[in-house]
Amino acid sequence: MLTLLLVCIGGGIGAMIRGGITEICVNKFSSQFPIATFIVNIIGSFTIGIILGHALHISWINPFLVTGILGGLTTFSTLASELVKMIEAKTNLPLFISYSILQYGGCFAACLIGYKLF
């Protein structure tokens, strides 16, 4: 029961952070490139890499921080929906491909860098 509570609290915190970053990006940048999703996914992947690199086995870390906060912060479903919207809007192909590669490759690289730092 405690694990579920930690995930719920952490998820709420992560989602609020993502919402704040999205709001800032919408107000600061006008672009076809969904910068907010890119930012939260890179930050989340890097942070998860750091946690994996430390091999933290503290009982509350994974449910609260990884599954909760970072799970609420990062968003695979938003990425997928943005890619669908780009196709539907007939966004130019180079932008679509660039965004896809930057998301998947960037998140992998960020996680690996975070992991290797420690």
- How confident is the model at residue 86, as a pLDDT? 93
Q: First CA to last CA across the chain, in angstroms? A: 32
Instruction: Tell me what the mean pLDDT of segment 83-103 comes to.
Output: 94
In which domain, by residue range, is 96 found? 1-117
Structure confidence at residue 60 as a pLDDT band (50, 70, 90) = confident
Name the band, by pLDDT with cuts 50, 70 and 90, for residue 118.
confident
Q: Name the token pair of 17.
A: 């952070």
Q: How many CB atoms lie within 10 A of CB 97?
A: 10
CB 18 within 8 A of CB 75: yes
Band the pLDDT of 93: cuts 50, 70, 90.
very high
Q: What residues have CB less than 8 Å from 104, skipping those under 6 apart?
A: none
Q: Count the domains in the chain.
A: 1
Q: Which of 68, 73, 62, 63 is nearest to 110 (CA)?
A: 73
- Give the pLDDT of residue 52: 87
* pLDDT at 42 exceeding the cut of 80: yes
| Sequence ranges of the binding site for Na(+) | 71, 74
Average pLDDT over residues 3-24: 97
Task: Give the other-Cβ count within 10 Å of 59's Cβ.
Answer: 11
Q: Given pLDDT bands bounded at 50, 70 and 90, which one contains residue 59?
A: confident
Q: What confidence score (pLDDT) does residue 55 get?
A: 75
- CA distance linking residue 113 with residue 30, whole number of Å: 30
Pick out the residues of the known binding site. Answer: 71, 74
Q: Is the pLDDT score of 25 beyond 80?
A: yes
DSSP-derived letter for residue 72 is H
